[in-house]
Amino acid sequence: MGRIVFPFAQKPLGRDARAKVVARPLAPRVAPASVRVPDARLVHVEIPFPSGHPQIFVHEGARQTFERKLQAACPRPVILSMTDNRRSMIAFGFENGILRARIHHMFLDAPPAVQEALVRYVVQGDRAASLTVGRFIHDNNHRIRAARPVVRPLATQGDHHDLLTIYGQLNDKYFGGTMDALVTWGRMPKVELPRRTIKLGSYSAVERLIRIHPVLDRNWVPRYFVSYVVYHEMIHHVVVSPIVGGRKILHPPAFMERERLFREYDRAMDWEQTHVHRLLRA
Ligand SMILES: [Zn+2]
């Protein structure tokens, strides 16, 4: 049941087919591609999804908006599906007079100029546009499905804080629901206390995985602070670390700007300042 069948794709479209097709939705209101099947690593989250659907989580509103942009530029009906491919980022072609485009989900939250370039590339085969698109793919390389699968099962439900809920809320609020990284509580490292330093969160690009230090799963750690740490790591997933003079800049200006959008940023900074010693001893 991995195939998506559209009601009007069965027979060739006639001359006036476009008018008919446009009169009703081109694709089901919620395309099968927008349904997320729980990742095998998250199986303890019991959400009843049908099996066999594509394993990709896309923001359906964003997909429809992008499909409309393609449709506005294309004289033929358009069907857009989002993919999570590792190699083929963009594929398109005409089938029975319908333009079918299969595009990597990284383009859903691409800047307007990139989306416009992609439309020109797909619809007109514009060369200059393909360069813009190519650059964007290069800069978003980290959003291509993890090269290395995560081996350990993910643990998101802590004793005091549920990372999946926090992540979901941040995803909706700050990333338009397009975030596709994984999150887990890290393992408690065996160290002598008090620690000299502590890394509250980390992001692994090859696994596309955010790890949060289990020391934050305490009743005296406020939720907004855990949320801030998760948010910080989520930005690492979407903001590229440029290499300047052979050194990777982990927190470039674009990162800092984005981090400051966190509503409780100042509060989180203050809390960290006043509780860092307690965290080091915890
Ligand atoms: Zn960082």
Ligand 1 centroid distance, CA of 119 (Å): 34
Ligand 1 centroid distance, CA of 151 (Å): 23
Ligand 1 centroid distance, CA of 7 (Å): 47
pLDDT of the residue at 29: 42
pLDDT of the residue at 17: 34
Low-confidence ranges of the chain (pLDDT < 50): 1-55
pLDDT of the residue at 216: 97
Kindly tell me the sign of the dihedral angle through the C-alpha atoms of 8, 10, 13, 16: negative
pLDDT of the residue at 25: 38
Ligand 1 centroid distance, CA of 280 (Å): 18
pLDDT of the residue at 127: 87
Ligand 1 centroid distance, CA of 81 (Å): 33
Q: Which two tokens stand for residue 208?
A: 């596309």
Ligand 1 centroid distance, CA of 240 (Å): 11
Q: What is the pLDDT of residues 98-118, one digit of tens each?
A: 999 999 988 998 999 999 999
Ligand 1 centroid distance, CA of 232 (Å): 6
DSSP, res 85: -
pLDDT of the residue at 153: 84
Ligand 1 centroid distance, CA of 251 (Å): 6
pTM here is: 0.56
3-class SS letters over 177-219: CCCCCEEEECCCCCCCCCCCCCCCEEEECCCCEEEECHHHCCC
pLDDT of the residue at 228: 98
| Helix %, strand %, coil % of the chain (to 5) | 45, 15, 45
Ligand 1 centroid distance, CA of 269 (Å): 14
Ligand 1 centroid distance, CA of 196 (Å): 18
Phi, psi of 110 (to 5 degrees): -70, 155
Q: What is the pLDDT of residues 239-269, one digit of tens each?
A: 878 888 888 888 999 999 999 999 999 999 9
pLDDT of the residue at 57: 62
35, 87 contact by CB (below 8 A): no
